[in-house]
Homo-oligomer: A and B are copies of this chain.
Amino acid sequence: MDLKERTAQNLVRIRAEKPLLHHLINFVVMNDTANVTLHIGALPVMAHAAEEVAEMVDAAGALILNMGTLTNEWIEAMTIAGQRANATQTPIVLDPVGAGATTLRTTTNKAFLHDLKIAIVRGNAGELSALTGLEGEVRGVESIASHDDPVVVAQQMARTYRTVAALTGKRDIVADGERVFGVDNGHSWLPSLTGTGCMATTVVAAFAAVESDPLVAAAGGLATYGLAAELAADKATGPASFKVAFFDQIYHLTPEQVFESVRIVAIDP
């Protein structure tokens, strides 16, 4: 399997099929993730009423559960949406924002991971360490400390919850418990901006909507996202001008650029 070619093809498929990405997502990043969805070529919808989420899932190509501004009302709606997604085999991508920072966030994420079939979990090293019982510290939503080796964290996450773990950091690691890939695209501007983890999750979900292997979707989504950041970086003079250039670049990214420049490496687990 050539991951470069498959990722390039998946970008073509996203733009052709325009899958609906149903977001139950935190308030901070709603606008940014809706724009990133459009720019990568998919369609966004943000809908969180318990009364309508199941119906919206039926039209969706992927469901994103993002825990950034959680309340009980949202947990209820996420549960309904998640169950419907499982029933209709719609892939769920979970973003456990701030897991480890409070009991509510840690226990809710664990409950979703146990009770639902989650295709992909995209989080930082602190969040995934907290969810696997490895040492880690999360301050607010930031990873402050984690287990030394992100491959160990990702593998343990994948095995514990029978999911694909997509751990983002200086090098991104994706793992399904057996196979492990490193993704080396990305840029140092990303952490200076809020919501860049959440936006990565959205791009991963776009790939999951068109790609049956969630490990391939996760690696390809993260590499594509990181590549857009690289290509945008030299137009930026600070984090806000980077954001403008980055969003423009996601929109203009070609399958040829993806094929030539994504850097996905198999890692011996």
Interface residues of A (CB under 8 A from B): 20, 22, 26-32, 34-35, 37-39, 43-49, 51-52, 55-56, 59-60, 68-73, 98, 101-105, 139-142, 192-195, 237-241, 243-249, 251-252
CB pair B26–A29 under 8 Å, yes or no, is no
Q: Which residues of B contact A252 (CB under 8 A)?
A: 238
Closest Cβ of chain B to A39, distance in Å, is 6
Which 9 A-B pairs rank lowest in CB-CB distance, beginning with the nearest?
A238-B248, A45-B140, A240-B247, A34-B194, A52-B104, A52-B102, A55-B102, A240-B244, A28-B30
In-complex Cβ contact of A240 among B27, B71, B140, B248 (8 A): B248
- Given the interface contacts A244-B244, A247-B239, does A140 sit within 8 Å of B59 by beta carbon? yes
Query: With A and B bound together, what is the CA distance between A139 and B209 in angstroms?
Result: 15
Q: Which residues of B contact A49 (CB under 8 A)?
A: 70-72, 104
In-complex Cβ contact of A46 among B37, B44, B55, B68 (8 A): B68
Q: Which residues of B contact A29 (CB under 8 A)?
A: 31
In-complex Cβ contact of A28 among B31, B59, B102 (8 A): B31
Q: What are 17 A-B interface contacts by the 8 Å CB criterion?
A: A26-B46, A28-B46, A31-B32, A34-B195, A35-B194, A38-B194, A46-B68, A47-B70, A47-B140, A48-B69, A49-B104, A52-B104, A55-B101, A238-B247, A239-B251, A240-B251, A244-B244
Closest Cβ of chain B to A214, distance in Å, is 22
Q: Which residues of B contact A30 (CB under 8 A)?
A: 27-28
Query: With A and B bound together, what is the CA distance between A48 and B68 in angstroms?
Result: 10
Q: Which residues of B contact A69 (CB under 8 A)?
A: 46-48
CB pair A251–B102 under 8 Å, yes or no, is no
Query: With A and B bound together, what is the CA distance between A33 and B35 in angstroms?
Result: 15
Q: Which residue of B lies closest to A243 (CB)?
A: B240
Q: Which residue of B lies closest to A104 (CB)?
A: B52
Query: With A and B bound together, what is the CA distance between A186 and B252 in angstroms?
Result: 21
Q: Which residue of B lies closest to A75 (CB)?
A: B49
Query: With A and B bound together, what is the CA distance between A55 and B140 in angstroms?
Result: 10
CB pair B34–A139 under 8 Å, yes or no, is no
CB pair B251–A43 under 8 Å, yes or no, is no
CB pair B101–A139 under 8 Å, yes or no, is no
